[in-house]
Chain A
Amino acid sequence: MSDSDNKTSFGAYGGQYVPEALMPALEELEDAYERYVLENEDGFMDDFRARMREFGGRPTPLQRADRLSERYDCEVYLKREDLVHGGAHKLNNALGQVLLAKYMGKERIIAETGAGQHGTATAMAAAHLEMPCEIYMGRTDVNRQRPNVYRMRMNGAAVNPVDTGRGTLKEAINATLRDWSKSVETTHYVIGSVVGPHPFPKMVRDFQSVIGTEAREQIREQAGRLPDSVLACAGGGSNTMGAFHAFVGDEDVGLYAVEAGGSTLEIDEERGVAPNSATLSTGTDGVLHGAMTKLLQSGDGQIMESHSVSAGLDYAGVGPELSYLVDIGRVTPVSVDDEAALDAFHRLSRLEGIIPALESSHALGYLERAAGPAADDASGQRPRAEEHENLGDLVVVNVSGRGDKDLETVLEETEKRDLEAAPDVEVFDR
């Protein structure tokens, strides 16, 4: 259903908007994707699945969240991608691509990283598969994500700081594309999300689709039926497409892409800043990093600086397939702001004993907004507000990663706010 007439695109989205020098590499990659991933040539997919089982810890559980179920008056199940090796769903894609590069006879891996989650997953996969690996990371991110930089170095990857622009994910992608355009004959670029030129959006989706494939089987077994809705946070959209893909054909299952509302959805056109990363909710069509998709951009077409308290959602673009699924009405884009995400971070930690990534906390934040006690009370609608009604009685939330990496940010951001679910930390001397 998500595939349209042209195999390089999703309706009007996708395509291959890259310098000519990269086109032969994309053709080569497309051929390898079709043979190894789609047709399991040389047992590639068997090898991949075995490694994800033994090295990666798959399958991950689908867990009924008892306190959340009670709070939201519906069955809430959590897909525990935070339990994948490395602490997030990122390894599903990184290991798939590094292994594919190996099957293709490439000698070197490069990757971009924002907060460092994709970089650390790629470095782990490269160490596991003995591939030389270089990670590009914006200077600002290098400075604020020191533990992740160290993790990558420990796994043997080189980390190249990028000094241009604001020094974040967008600049890191630009730098990696530049490296690739000179090293393309020997090097594979492990892109970190369902973005970029074809075949990356489809290939990354396929590596991540194990999330939804497992969850779909597990929910049928554990709850006896398909869910009414699936919630996943959306930045570039790799955990989103990973969670949704298996359900796209199940038309009664609502799919909610929860974006980062940042501090506000208002755009500051003059400064070229969007204080959010709600691309699906507010973006307009354009071309960035090789694909036609929805973007946060100025009227002239300059890409905006995006923002989210969660570095992993902080990107001005989004996967083209998500743009397409939103346009045809199959995926519903919603957003929650920094504050709601932080609150949800604390709530899951407190109620269920699971510290979620700030990214995943957005999906949980939406559940609170739609189905939390305030939602129904404030609107005066009992027993359920409209958004709550839409989510239904059986909800799967993808916990895309664990939140240990976010503790510093959360400490800092929680102090500035009066959050309902935050713990009392008077124990610290001030």
Chain B
Amino acid sequence: MTTDSDIERAIRENHPALIAYITAGDPTLEETAEYVEALDRGGADLIELGLPFSEPIAEGPTIQAAINRSLEAGTTPDSFFELVDDLDVEAPLLVMTYYNMILQYGSEPAVEPFVERAADAGLAGIIVPDLPAEESEPLREACEDHGLDLVFIVAPTTDGERLETIMSQVSGFAYVQARLGTTGARADVSGATHDSLTRLSEYDVPKAVGFGVSEGDHAAEIVEAGADGVIVGSALVDLIAEKEGPATALEAKAEELKAGARRGAEDVPEPEQP
């Protein structure tokens, strides 16, 4: 068996893990650095940074708006990587972006230059919402070459052979999409989450649930249902959009979510350390 990556280790050692998403460059890259530190202090065990793409087809209104703010502020792949170069936080960092941004990073359309630069910047993994397993071979190989994890999304509609394929290719963790639709904070946890976690229970890959998680109680319920981590994005992006000096609010929200996740774990035995 291969050794755990930084991401898997961060999830197993801090079980149940809190995975926080914010859009880099919303509203500026300087502020993103501040927010990442606040989330790290508040107990986020992994942090996903969105690199904005002009056509974010998997995002709901909250993150679409954040992406627009970031693009208007002039965020580019290069300025994004410079931000990551300078970040010094305990939580491993992942980049979440669309496939075209990865392809266009070099002088010719190819995935290698982006992955190489991501590894240089110290990123631990990549999530690409518009790259299904069928199209992922070039990126998967580049990620393997550079020691990065490539996280795949498992949707409520994913089962049978597709699930097998994805789970054989995933690294880091499986991103379990809690419900159909786009990202965005919601008031409840869907039944689809329970079904998905049941389907995934036989696979020895950490499972983290995202899409719609916004409160500590959701985190508790999701962990209780068998997740190894919860992913929170839109609820954090909302705080950035709404609050003056959102760093404090982000730290407090991370604490609330992490405490919720822990509460959910009290009733379930910790998985065995490999």
Answer yes or no: are A and B bound together in one complex: yes
Interface residues of A (CB under 8 A from B): 8, 15-21, 23-25, 164-165, 170, 174, 177-178, 181-185, 272, 284-290, 295, 297, 299-303
Asked whether any CB of chain A lies closer than 8 Å to the CB of B180, the reply is yes
A287 in complex: contacting residue of B71, B77, B100, B105, CB < 8 Å: B100
Residue-by-residue, is B126-156 near A (CB-CB < 8 Å gives 1, otherwise 0)?
A: 0001111111000000000000000011111
Asked whether any CB of chain A lies closer than 8 Å to the CB of B103, the reply is yes
Asked whether any CB of chain A lies closer than 8 Å to the CB of B241, the reply is no
A303 in complex: contacting residue of B55, B61, B105, B132, CB < 8 Å: B55
B153 in complex: contacting residue of A19, A184, A289, CB < 8 Å: A19
B53 x A19 contact (CB < 8 A): no
Asked whether any CB of chain A lies closer than 8 Å to the CB of B234, the reply is no
Cβ of A179 to closest chain B Cβ, rounded Å: 9
Residue-by-residue, is B98-126 near A (CB-CB < 8 Å gives 1, otherwise 0)?
A: 11110111000100000000000000000
A selection of 30 A-B contacts at a CB cut-off of 8 Å is A8-B134, A15-B134, A15-B135, A17-B99, A17-B130, A17-B132, A17-B135, A20-B153, A21-B153, A21-B157, A21-B180, A23-B157, A164-B64, A181-B57, A181-B181, A181-B182, A182-B181, A183-B180, A286-B100, A286-B103, A287-B99, A287-B130, A288-B100, A300-B76, A300-B77, A300-B105, A301-B100, A301-B101, A303-B55, A303-B100
Cβ of A195 to closest chain B Cβ, rounded Å: 13
* Chain B residues whose C-beta falls within 8 Å of the C-beta of A185 in the assembled complex: 157, 180
Q: In the complex, A182 Cα to B57 Cα: how many Å?
A: 12
In the complex formed, the residue of B with least CB distance to A176 is B57
A23 in complex: contacting residue of B60, B104, B158, CB < 8 Å: B158
Interface residues of B (CB under 8 A from A): 53-58, 60-61, 64, 68, 71, 76-77, 98-101, 103-105, 109, 129-135, 152-159, 162, 166, 177, 179-182
Chain B binding surface, main DSSP class: loop
Q: In the complex, A301 Cα to B55 Cα: how many Å?
A: 10
Q: In the complex, A318 Cα to B131 Cα: how many Å?
A: 20
A299 in complex: contacting residue of B58, B104, B129, CB < 8 Å: B104
B157 x A182 contact (CB < 8 A): no
B157 x A24 contact (CB < 8 A): yes
* Chain B residues whose C-beta falls within 8 Å of the C-beta of A15 in the assembled complex: 134-135
Q: In the complex, A16 Cα to B132 Cα: how many Å?
A: 8
Chain A binding surface, main DSSP class: mixed
B182 x A182 contact (CB < 8 A): yes
B60 x A178 contact (CB < 8 A): yes
Q: In the complex, A303 Cα to B133 Cα: how many Å?
A: 24
Cβ of B136 to closest chain A Cβ, rounded Å: 10
In the complex formed, the residue of A with least CB distance to B183 is A178
* Chain B residues whose C-beta falls within 8 Å of the C-beta of A284 in the assembled complex: 109
Cβ of A266 to closest chain B Cβ, rounded Å: 20
B55 x A170 contact (CB < 8 A): yes
* Chain B residues whose C-beta falls within 8 Å of the C-beta of A8 in the assembled complex: 134
* Chain B residues whose C-beta falls within 8 Å of the C-beta of A165 in the assembled complex: 54, 68
B57 in complex: contacting residue of A19, A23, A300, A302, CB < 8 Å: A19
* Cβ-closest 8 pairs across A and B: A301-B104, A182-B181, A21-B155, A182-B180, A302-B54, A287-B100, A24-B157, A301-B100
* Chain B residues whose C-beta falls within 8 Å of the C-beta of A174 in the assembled complex: 55-57
In the complex formed, the residue of A with least CB distance to B97 is A301
Q: In the complex, A287 Cα to B57 Cα: how many Å?
A: 12
Cβ of B222 to closest chain A Cβ, rounded Å: 18
Starting from the known contacts A20-B155, A181-B182, 5 additional A-B residue pairs (CB-CB under 8 Å) come to A16-B135, A18-B130, A21-B153, A21-B157, A177-B57
Q: In the complex, A286 Cα to B98 Cα: how many Å?
A: 11
B104 x A20 contact (CB < 8 A): no
* Chain A residues whose C-beta falls within 8 Å of the C-beta of B71 in the assembled complex: 302
Q: In the complex, A20 Cα to B162 Cα: how many Å?
A: 10
Q: In the complex, A302 Cα to B157 Cα: how many Å?
A: 30
* Chain B residues whose C-beta falls within 8 Å of the C-beta of A287 in the assembled complex: 98-100, 103, 130
A300 x B55 contact (CB < 8 A): no
* Chain A residues whose C-beta falls within 8 Å of the C-beta of B156 in the assembled complex: 21
B55 x A178 contact (CB < 8 A): no
* Chain B residues whose C-beta falls within 8 Å of the C-beta of A20 in the assembled complex: 132-133, 152-155, 157-158, 166, 177
Cβ of B135 to closest chain A Cβ, rounded Å: 5
In the complex formed, the residue of B with least CB distance to A28 is B157
A17 in complex: contacting residue of B131, B153, B166, CB < 8 Å: B131
Q: In the complex, A134 Cα to B109 Cα: how many Å?
A: 36
Q: In the complex, A8 Cα to B103 Cα: how many Å?
A: 19
B155 in complex: contacting residue of A19, A178, A272, A289, CB < 8 Å: A19
Given the known A-B contacts A17-B135, A287-B100, are A303 and B177 also in contact in the complex, defined by CB atoms under 8 Å?
Answer: no
Most buried by A among B61, B101, B155: B155
A19 in complex: contacting residue of B58, B100, B162, CB < 8 Å: B58
* Chain A residues whose C-beta falls within 8 Å of the C-beta of B58 in the assembled complex: 19, 178, 181
Given the known A-B contacts A19-B58, A23-B162, A302-B54, are A285 and B181 also in contact in the complex, defined by CB atoms under 8 Å?
Answer: no
B55 in complex: contacting residue of A16, A21, A25, A288, CB < 8 Å: A288
* Chain A residues whose C-beta falls within 8 Å of the C-beta of B181 in the assembled complex: 178, 181-182
B57 x A289 contact (CB < 8 A): yes
Cβ of A64 to closest chain B Cβ, rounded Å: 44
In the complex formed, the residue of B with least CB distance to A26 is B132
* Chain B residues whose C-beta falls within 8 Å of the C-beta of A177 in the assembled complex: 57
Cβ of A20 to closest chain B Cβ, rounded Å: 5
Most buried by A among B53, B100, B152, B155: B100
Q: In the complex, A385 Cα to B33 Cα: how many Å?
A: 61
